[in-house]
């Protein structure tokens, strides 16, 4: 694997000052350098970067990177926690930090879309909408400080009907690896309003190429927003018996396929609830994973189920009430399953008051950005970190149950509590588990890495793969896509070398390396 000579990097950083200004170049030894806050491999030093202020500066920076042979690692806010944060694949890259580009270009609350730059966070967009009383709701991920654009490009999820964020992208502005500028979809025409309105264009659709990608630097996207609902219901399903998981999954996903439940429902276990009432030491201070009998005690103390699902309903009041009724009908007659729901109704022309929706799990389903889940990071230690281990599975209850049994054994074997927060979609589910650890605790990190590696292998043996990846595992996961001698990766690399012959943009992102690094 080629590395960039230090001289080239220092030449790049020094010449970049003329493009973005010296104050926006973070040098190799700067205190402001970039770092993953929860590294799986500790001991990394901060690394340097540049912060362009607009698309033209990005173009200039990319051209300079080509001239000096300096690979760039792009991110919007670098808040991809549990996946490496701002960290690059190799240490010779320079951060292309887009957070200064933070303009909200437009929000249209009749047709329901926003146009934003990479530095716009979920908080920013939420505040913008509230200040103007616009008639739209956001979809937000667990933490609101991340980039709307960055999250969508990494194919992240929120928890409203618009929760599959990549699917809401409508029109992109992209700086190509040679510094050229491209607009996708209808925006590829001058003088059109259709960019953020219609997702298709003419000829092959290329938008997907720029998700989880190193084929360009996206500096603007259109993203669709949902109309604010008259009524919002959030519901909890408490399931007493562990073995009712298949029933729960099959019923909830059938309701989702029928569009009775309109968002991706969430299904958590007892450990998940414990992390929200942490730290762990408050509940258990023994070695290894919390034993089942202690978890059962905690469960009763917290008054929760073995499984605790959450769903939401949005829209017309009459429709919302009937939806809730159907959900109750489907679970009726099953012992040990309880449904509880709260209804919030807006007045005529006035939105539902977010402050009435108290619980943070509920506000997330209402598209309200928050930082509250951040506290769970201290579950195991005051200086805590985590990695997300989240393969995609078919939404088939018995199959999920079988995988869950195996995962439970793996976590116990490595002495970790099994945190589960499943996300349920119409046809698939994301088997979200988390591994919490103490930062820089090498013994614990070693176990975490082993567990994660074994979990990936187990998933792959069943034909499952994660929907996104920590930077340390991108090659391994890409390796699992092995049909016809890795035809997919070979094709992705062919595209990479065609549009980025110098291998400048984010080499190794999702396992796609340019030829010069191979």
- Which residues inside 62-101 make contact with a second copy, applying CB under 8 A? none
Nearest-angstrom CA–CA distance, 13 and 409 = 49
Task: Single out the residue of 3, 14, 130, 205 in contact with a second copy (rule: CB under 8 A).
Answer: 205
Nearest approach in angstroms of CB 171 to a second copy is 11
Q: Does 202 bind a second copy (CB under 8 A)?
A: yes
Residue 193 or 296 having the CB closest to a second copy: 193
DSSP string, 150-162: HHHHTT-B-SSTT
Element (H, E) at 498: helix 483-499
Q: Which of residues 102-161 bind a second copy (CB under 8 A)?
A: 110-113, 155, 161
Widest CA span of the chain, in angstroms? Answer: 72
Between 138 and 304, name the residue whose CB sits nearer to a second copy: 138
Q: Provide φ and ψ at 302, rounded to 5°.
A: -85, -10
Stretch 423-462 residues interacting with a second copy (CB under 8 A): 426-428, 460
Residue 17 CB, shortest distance to a second copy, in Å, is 27
Instruction: Closer to a second copy by CB, 249 or 304: give it.
Output: 249
Nearest distance from residue 56's CB to a second copy, in Å? 12
The footprint of a second copy on residues 1-30 (CB under 8 A) is: none
Burial class of residue 346 (count of CB atoms within 10 Å of its CB; 0-12, 13-18, 19+): middle
Q: Of the candidates 184, 251, 264, 433, which one interacts with a second copy according to CB under 8 A?
A: 184
Residues numbered 489 to 508 that lie near a second copy (CB under 8 A) are: 489-492, 494-495, 497-499
What φ, ψ does residue 21 adopt, rounded to 5°?
95, 140
In angstroms, the CA 339 to CA 358 distance is 18
Residue 467 as a binder of a second copy (CB under 8 A): the answer is: yes
Task: Centre a 10 Å sphere on the Cβ of residue 389 and count the other Cβ atoms it contains.
Answer: 24
The residues in 331-390 that bind a second copy, with binding defined as CB under 8 A, are none
Q: Is 280 in the site for a second copy (CB under 8 A)?
A: no
CB of 231 within 8 A of CB of 344?
yes
Residue placing its CB nearer to a second copy in the complex, 47 or 464: 464
- Whichever of 204 and 303 has its CB closer to a second copy, that residue is 204
Minimum Å gap between C-beta 248 and a second copy is 16
- Minimum CB separation from a second copy for residue 476, in Å? 11
Among 260, 273, 324, 407, binds a second copy (CB under 8 A): 260
**Which SS3 state, helix, strand or coil, does residue 104 take?**
strand
- For the chain, what's the residue count? 518
Backbone angles phi, psi at 183, to 5 degrees: -115, 140
By annotation, the residues acting in catalysis are 83, 467-468
Inter-CA distances, 106 with 116, 160, 168, 217, Å: 7, 21, 16, 21
| Given 28, 105, 206, 339, the residue binding a second copy (CB under 8 A) | 206
For a second copy, the binding residue among 325, 338, 359, 450 (CB under 8 A) is 325
Could you say whether residue 259 binds a second copy (CB under 8 A)? yes
Per CB under 8 A, contacts with a second copy among 303-322 are 315-316, 318-319, 322
Given a contact cutoff of 8 angstroms between Cβ atoms, the answer to whether 295 and 271 are in contact is yes
335 or 348: CB nearest a second copy: 348
Stretch that binds a second copy, among 18-26, 114-122, 372-380, 509-517 (CB under 8 A): 509-517
- 206 or 458: CB nearest a second copy: 206
- Secondary structure string (H, E, C) spanning 199-234: CCCCCCCCHHHHCCCCCCEEEEEEEECEECCCEEEE
Options 186-194, 288-296, 301-309, 409-417: segment touching a second copy (CB under 8 A): 186-194
Give the number of other Cβ atoms within 10 Å of residue 459's Cβ: 23
How many residues touch a second copy (CB under 8 A)? Answer: 94
- Note whether 398 binds a second copy by CB under 8 A: no
- Interaction of residue 262 with a second copy, rule CB under 8 A: yes
Q: Report the residue number, 276 or 495, with the smaller CB distance to a second copy.
A: 495
Write out the DSSP string of 274-322.
HHHT--GGGT--SSSSPPHHHHHHHHHHHT--SEEEEEEEEE-HHHHHH
3-state helix, strand, coil in the chain (%, to 5): 40, 20, 40
Exposed / middle / buried, residue 35 (Cβ in 10 Å: 0-12, 13-18, 19+) = middle
Instruction: Supply φ then ψ for residue 181, to 5 degrees.
Output: -115, 135
User: CB under 8 A: which stretch of 48-56, 116-124, 414-422, 477-485 binds a second copy?
Assistant: 477-485
Could you say which of 207, 236, 244, 472 contacts a second copy (CB under 8 A)?
207
Rounded to a whole number of angstroms, the minimum distance from the CB of residue 111 to a second copy is: 5
């Amino acid at each position: 694997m080629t590395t960039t000579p230090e001289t080239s990097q220092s030449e790049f950083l020094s010449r970049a000052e003329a493009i973005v200004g010296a104050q926006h170049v973070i040098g190799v030894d700067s205190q402001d350098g970039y770092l993953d806050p929860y590294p799986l491999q500790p001991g990394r030093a901060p690394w340097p970067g540049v912060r362009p202020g607009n698309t033209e500066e990005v173009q200039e920076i990319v051209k300079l990177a080509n001239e000096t042979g300096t690979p760039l690692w792009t991110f919007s806010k670098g808040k991809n926690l549990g996946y490496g944060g701002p960290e690059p694949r190799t240490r010779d890259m320079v951060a292309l930090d887009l957070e200064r580009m933070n303009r909200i270009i437009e929000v249209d609350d009749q047709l329901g879309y926003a146009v934003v730059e990479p530095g716009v966070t979920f908080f920013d967009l939420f505040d913008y909408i509230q200040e103007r009383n616009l008639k739209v709701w956001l979809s937000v991920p667990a933490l609101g400080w991340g980039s709307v654009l960055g999250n969508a490009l990494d194919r992240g999820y929120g928890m409203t009907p618009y929760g599959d964020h990549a699917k809401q992208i409508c029109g992109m502005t992209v700086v190509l690896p040679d510094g050229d500028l491209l607009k996708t979809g209808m925006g590829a025409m001058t003088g059109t309003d259709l960019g953020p309105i219609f997702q298709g264009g003419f000829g092959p659709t290329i938008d997907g190429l720029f998700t989880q990608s190193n084929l360009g630097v996206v500096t603007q996207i259109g993203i669709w927003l949902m109309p604010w609902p008259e009524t919002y219901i959030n519901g909890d399903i408490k399931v007493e018996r562990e073995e009712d998981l298949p029933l729960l999954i099959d019923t909830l996903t059938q309701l989702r396929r029928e569009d009775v439940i309109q968002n991706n429902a969430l299904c958590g276990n007892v450990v998940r609830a414990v992390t929200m009432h942490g730290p762990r030491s408050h509940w258990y201070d023994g070695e290894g994973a919390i034993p089942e009998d202690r978890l059962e005690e905690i469960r009763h103390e917290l008054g929760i189920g073995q499984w605790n699902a959450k769903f939401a309903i949005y829209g017309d009041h009459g429709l919302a009430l009937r939806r809730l009724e159907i959900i109750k009908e489907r679970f009726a007659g099953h012992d040990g399953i309880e449904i509880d729901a709260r209804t919030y109704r807006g007045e005529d022309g006035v939105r539902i008051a977010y402050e009435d929706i108290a619980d943070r799990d509920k506000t997330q389903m209402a598209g309200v950005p928050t930082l509250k889940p951040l506290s769970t990071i201290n579950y195991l230690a005051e200086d805590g970190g985590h990695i997300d281990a989240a393969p995609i599975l078919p939404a088939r209850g018995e199959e999920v149950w079988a995988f869950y049994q195996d995962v439970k054994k793996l976590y116990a074997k490595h002495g970790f509590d099994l945190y589960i927060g499943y996300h349920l979609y119409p046809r698939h589910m994301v088997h979200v588990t988390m591994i919490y650890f103490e930062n820089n605790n090498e013994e614990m990190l070693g176990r975490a890495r082993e567990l994660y590696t074994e979990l990936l292998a187990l998933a792959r043996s069943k034909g499952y793969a994660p929907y996104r990846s920590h930077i340390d595992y991108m090659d391994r996961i890409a390796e699992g896509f092995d049909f016809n001698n890795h035809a997919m990766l070979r094709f992705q690399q062919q595209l990479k070398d065609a549009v980025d012959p110098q291998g400048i943009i984010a080499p190794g992102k999702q396992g796609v390396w340019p030829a010069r690094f191979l």
